[in-house]
Amino acid sequence: MADIDEILMGAEERMEKAVAALKDNFAGVRTGRANAMVLDRIKVDYYGVPTPVNQMAGVKTPEAHLLVIEPWDKGVLRAIEQAILESDLGVTPNNDGNVIRLPFPSLTEERRRDLVKQCKTFAEEARVAVRNARRDANSAVEKAVKNDNLPEDESKRAEAEVQKMTDKFVAEIDEVLKKKEAEVMEI
State residue 15's pLDDT score.
92
Phi, psi angle pair for 40, to nearest 5°: -60, -35
* Contact (CB, 8 A) for 50 and 43: yes
Q: Which domains are present in the chain?
A: 2-27+108-185 (1.10.132.20), 36-103 (3.30.1360.40)
Q: What is the residue-level pLDDT of the chain in tens, covering all 187 positions? A: 458 888 889 999 999 999 999 988 887 776 667 777 777 778 888 888 888 888 888 888 888 788 888 988 888 888 888 888 888 777 788 888 888 888 877 778 888 888 889 899 999 999 999 999 999 999 988 888 888 777 888 888 988 999 999 999 999 999 999 998 888 887 6
The DSSP output letter for 47 is: T
Stated as kind and residue range, the H or E segment containing 103 is strand 100-103
pLDDT of residue 52: 86
Does an H or E element contain 57, and which?
strand 57-63
What are 48-65's pLDDT values in tens digits? 888 888 888 888 888 878
Is the entire prediction scored with pTM above 0.75? Answer: no
Alpha-carbon span 72 to 58, nearest angstrom: 7
SS3 at position 45? strand
Calculate the CA dihedral of residues 36, 37, 42, 48 and round it to 10 degrees.
80
